[in-house]
Structure 1
């Protein structure tokens, strides 16, 4: 999970992943969509490959990259636990319910008359 999180920390790599979501692309096609050097794009692709987020295949003289989504599952599970209702949200909802219940009960209590 750490390697995946580190790989997607860079905005260029996130953009590459989005591009590969649509279709497999050669390294040249990926590089052509950025204003950074081809060696820089190659380094980004290497990081993504080493994290297991892309797979490459040689097609003649080209290297074609394909998105691999399985490594995202562990990270997605962790994020779901982090953002899922049930932590503070559930506790605050319970507190709100208790406040309303207490207010309702106080309104229905008989008032003591003063002497």
Structure 2
């Protein structure tokens, strides 16, 4: 399940449930989310902040910089990652709200999957 949240962590959009364990970008591409977010970023000049699951998904998506194999991050890369982590922590609130506050949604998703349904 994919979630788009407001800057305060409130869920704005939730994808339909998909079966099994899919990689973030696979699920997002299946719902057209990657193309839409890249198009919005190109049009509005505002990228979407993501986690490393969206690495190489397009210019409109910003994710933390990976530490190079056998190397270290530069100071600007460390600063960028700190900003991303700070914002990402707030955005994770959307997932927590869906899992804890909206228990009914969790139950519906679970029931759908038990019966082999995804929507």
TM-score by length of 1: 0.29
**Higher helix residue share:** 1
* Greater relative CO, 1 or 2 (CA 8 Å, sep 6+): 2
Structure possessing the higher radius of gyration over alpha carbons: 1
